[in-house]
Structure 1
Amino acid sequence: MSGIAFDQPMAVCVAPNGARKTHADHPAVPVTPQEVAEGAVRWREAGAAMLHLHVRDAQAGHVLDADLYAEATAAVRAAVGDDMVIQITTEAVGKYTAAEQMAVVRAVRPEAVSLAVRELIPDADHEQDAAAFLSEVVGWGCAPQYILYSAEDVARLHDLRRRGIIPGNRMNVLFVLGRYSRNQDSDPRDLLPFLERWDPAADGPFSVCAFGRREGACVLAAGALAGHARVGFENNTLRADGSSAADNADLVAQVAEGARLLGRRVASAEDIRRLMAPL
């Protein structure tokens, strides 16, 4: 971890809905573009300068749809301007192929995109298409974030970079803690195997997301080690004390306050754009 500026701003990304949750899970889960836009104002005020964006179809189901992404992006921009980085998801949820994931990114041309390496490049047969796609994405200035679920995923990402499948000198990653733990109840110690194989100074910035009431503790453990946070109803609807959060803003505010106690300024959208810029 040498060479890392531990006083650099801490990015807080809000993941307000995910692919599955609806109003039945929590009344404050935003489903429509307008609900996302209205929420963005509160989330930004609470400290989130980045939005991990999912869109839903007319039945509130997960969908990768360029027109809906454009509608939601326009609504968010009308609400908060450029004060939030908008990152679209390519999550497959078992229904989209790698080719379909790449197609929606090409159609939307977002400023940032999250990509699960296991989905985009599941095997060697997908490497050539992924390499061309990632080179194209980085070329137009989009910031990819690679989603990793285990230390083995980290090792594979390094191998893909060494062989030129992943472009650039530094990568921006999201470590998903506790995805396969019992009851998806994450623990801050879940971060350790990832960091054994990741050097932020050499490899690039890392963020963390987690499940359950210790979500805040997990992302603040990352923050104490120069990492960044993604929080929200996608993975968790509980405050640190176990009570139900009123809104995504509750979870963002907890982490923003924790970042300040760590001595880290909460990052602005411009800070995050500089942090995530492909190199």
Structure 2
Amino acid sequence: MTPLPRLMVAPNGARRGKSDHPQLPVTDDEVVQTAIACHAAGADGVHLHIRDAAGAHLLDAPRYQALLDRLKDTVPGMYLQVTSESAGLYTAQEQRCMMRALRPAHVSVAMREMVRGPEDWAKAHGFYAWALENAVDVQHILYSPKEVAAFVDAVLRGQVPGDRILVQLVQGSYAEGSKGALDLDLYLAEFDRVEDRVFDWMLCAFGKAETASLVHAARLGGKARAGFENALHHSDGTLAVDNASRIREIDAALRVAVPEAG
């Protein structure tokens, strides 16, 4: 299993569009150009969303494969991760079918979307086992300390297989930004209940606290995900020109906070 990158850019997400920021990439061409710019600015990974002709969120294996092939040529060596996000448009079964068809090297999967009720664990476990057997690295998205606790319970029960487990922790929300965000220590404390697994974790944070939150995470041994999916502003409150400018600020802050990780 490949370790998570130090700094991953999430340039668009499933919901925002040009009305939110004119430089938010929507087309595949724009995503490719953004990846190139962010790689030069310090990102070593990119979290990919694709859109349909109307700019709406899309899960489509052939479209994803075409974009991955382009990025392998334009940003060789960059960690390329696709999303399986439902955005309220896809069922868990449709999400799993897309991932099985694509077989991406790296994919993010929200536990709350794979397991919408206790009865879903059998199919979720089957998918996680398939992914492990087929070298599909799943990064499990967890939105709260409560979700981390439920996830750790699943690990202890053997429902999430593997010795090295990739995790995406989320602070804040689209609606509230960083308002009401819970302390990162509350998320991380749950990992201490598992002694025989390695948790390779990353943080994304919404709103104007994004930079400070990611620096704090790095000091605690975490990786960082940043970009217009989560925040459009710099730490001083000014609107970022583009994704690359956000990455430059965060890359510089991380290098100061954790020099050995740069």
Range of TM-score over shorter length: over 0.9
CA displacement 1:151-173 (0-9 Å, x = unmatched): 11111111111222111123111
Counterpart contact for 1:29–1:233, Cα < 8 Å:
yes
1:183 to partner: Cα distance: 2.1
Name the residue aligned to 2:237.
242
**SS of 1:196's equivalent?**
helix
| TM-score normalised per structure 1 | 0.87
Distance 1:103 1:133 in 2: 10
Counterpart contact for 2:145–2:187, Cα < 8 Å:
yes
Q: Structure 1, unaligned stretches of length 5 or more?
A: 1-7, 268-279
Name the residue aligned to 2:199.
204
Counterpart contact for 1:173–1:206, Cα < 8 Å:
yes
* Mapped pair 1:165 → 2:135: no
Name the residue aligned to 1:103.
97
Distance 2:5 2:96 in 1: 29
| TM-score normalised per structure 2 | 0.92
Distance 2:8 2:38 in 1: 9
* Mapped pair 1:41 → 2:36: yes
User: Percent identity over the alignment?
Assistant: 37
Residue type at the aligned position of 2:100? R
Counterpart contact for 1:15–1:230, Cα < 8 Å:
yes
Name the residue aligned to 1:90.
84
Name the residue aligned to 1:190.
183
Distance 2:173 2:36 in 1: 29
Distance 1:190 1:216 in 2: 15
Counterpart contact for 1:85–1:111, Cα < 8 Å:
no
Distance 2:215 2:180 in 1: 11
Residue type at the aligned position of 1:192? D
Q: Say what the alpha-carbon RMSD is for the aligned residues.
A: 2.1
Counterpart contact for 2:4–2:200, Cα < 8 Å:
no
**SS of 2:161's equivalent?**
coil
Name the residue aligned to 1:270.
none
Name the residue aligned to 1:132.
126
Q: Which has the higher contact order (CA 8 A, sep 6+)?
A: 1
Name the residue aligned to 1:50.
45
Structure 1 pair 155/9, CA: closer, same or farther in 2 (3 Å)? Answer: closer
1:9 to partner: Cα distance: 9.9
Counterpart contact for 1:256–1:266, Cα < 8 Å:
no
Structure 1 pair 38/10, CA: closer, same or farther in 2 (3 Å)? Answer: closer
Distance 2:140 2:110 in 1: 6
1:113 to partner: Cα distance: 0.6
**SS of 1:254's equivalent?**
helix
Number of positions where the alignment pairs a residue of Structure 1 with one of Structure 2: 258
Distance 2:233 2:250 in 1: 13
Name the residue aligned to 2:65.
70
Counterpart contact for 2:46–2:79, Cα < 8 Å:
yes
CA displacement 1:72-127 (0-9 Å, x = unmatched): 2122222112x211111111111111111111111111110101001101222111
Counterpart contact for 1:10–1:259, Cα < 8 Å:
no
1:208 to partner: Cα distance: 0.6
Counterpart contact for 1:15–1:233, Cα < 8 Å:
yes
Counterpart contact for 1:36–1:76, Cα < 8 Å:
no
